[in-house]
């Protein structure tokens, strides 16, 4: 999954980014409200962590503008304010959840996972394609009940493919949802990662058990083969 973190306190923003990357999220960071709004309106994200008090464009304004423009990406608003009225104002402007500073990172992760499991993403936390299961909470992949060790990037790629099973995904779509905005992407990055992923989830189970299909000239898709 891919997140946008909009937070002007660099220490907090960088800590959030590092923590979510360890949970296998791709994360973009903006350190002011205008940059955050620009990214939110030009890139696709599964959720946004949005500070309320920001330079150039505050979180309330960003949230209101996104909702007015039919952007329904789940938003969790961060604030140093804890008064009930402040929370109500944040929710009324379109935020989906609200977390008061200081907060535990474990709670932030739990809340983001809860937001991304809401009806917009009806697949839930355990994804299944044929005999492969991927648990986004336990961070575990199995095929035919056999555990498979994946790198963080391979896990994120497989999760994205499984969330969009039977749908052809272009390389551009894959890069935009699996890698963060500042990643140094080489022309064959997707092909190499797909090849490595196949070597772990297909090759040990025999060629007849292939799950990732290359659609020549278009991209890739994960297929139910049962």
Q: Where in the chain are the domains?
A: 2-120, 126-222
**Predicted local distance difference test score (pLDDT) of residue 121:** 42
Task: Say if 2-120 and 126-222 have the same CATH topology.
Answer: no
**Predicted local distance difference test score (pLDDT) of residue 37:** 97
User: Model confidence over 171-207: pLDDT tens digits?
Assistant: 888 887 788 766 667 768 889 999 999 999 988 887 5
Helices 105-116/10-22 angle, 10° precision: 60
What is the number of other CB atoms lying within 10 angstroms of the CB of residue 133?
16
Q: What is the dihedral of CA 28, 34, 38, 44, to 10 degrees?
A: 40
CATH superfamily placement of domain 2-120: Response regulator (3.40.50.2300)
Q: What dotted CATH number matches 126-222?
A: 1.10.10.10
The segments of the chain whose pLDDT lies below 70 read: 81-90, 117-124, 181-184, 187, 207-209, 225-226
> Concatenated DSSP letters for 38-102?
HHHHHS--SEEEEESS-SSS-HHHHHHHHHHTT----EEEEES---HHHHHHHHHTT-SEEEESS
* pTM of the predicted model over 0.75: no
């Amino acid at each position: 999954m891919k997140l946008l973190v909009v937070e002007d306190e660099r220490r907090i923003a960088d800590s959030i980014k590092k923590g979510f990357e360890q949970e296998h999220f791709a994360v973009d960071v903006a350190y002011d409200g205008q940059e955050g709004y620009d990214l939110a309106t030009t890139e696709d994200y599964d959720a946004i962590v949005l500070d309320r008090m920001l330079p150039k464009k505050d979180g309330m304004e960003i949230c209101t503008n996104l909702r007015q423009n039919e952007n329904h990406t789940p938003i969790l608003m961060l604030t140093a304010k804890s008064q009930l009225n402040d929370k109500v104002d944040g929710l009324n402007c379109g935020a989906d959840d609200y977390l008061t500073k200081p907060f535990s990172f474990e709670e932030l992760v739990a809340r983001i996972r809860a937001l991304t499991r809401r009806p917009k993403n009806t697949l839930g936390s355990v994804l299944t394609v044929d005999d492969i299961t991927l648990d986004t909470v336990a961070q575990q992949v199995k095929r035919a009940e056999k555990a498979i060790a994946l790198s963080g990037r391979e896990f994120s790629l497989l999760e994205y493919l499984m969330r969009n099973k039977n749908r052809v995904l272009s390389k551009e779509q894959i890069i935009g949802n699996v890698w963060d905005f500042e990643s140094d992407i080489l022309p064959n990055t997707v092909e190499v990662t797909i090849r490595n992923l196949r070597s772990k989830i297909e090759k040990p189970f025999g060629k007849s058990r292939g799950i990732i299909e290359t659609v020549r000239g278009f991209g890739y898709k994960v297929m139910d083969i049962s």
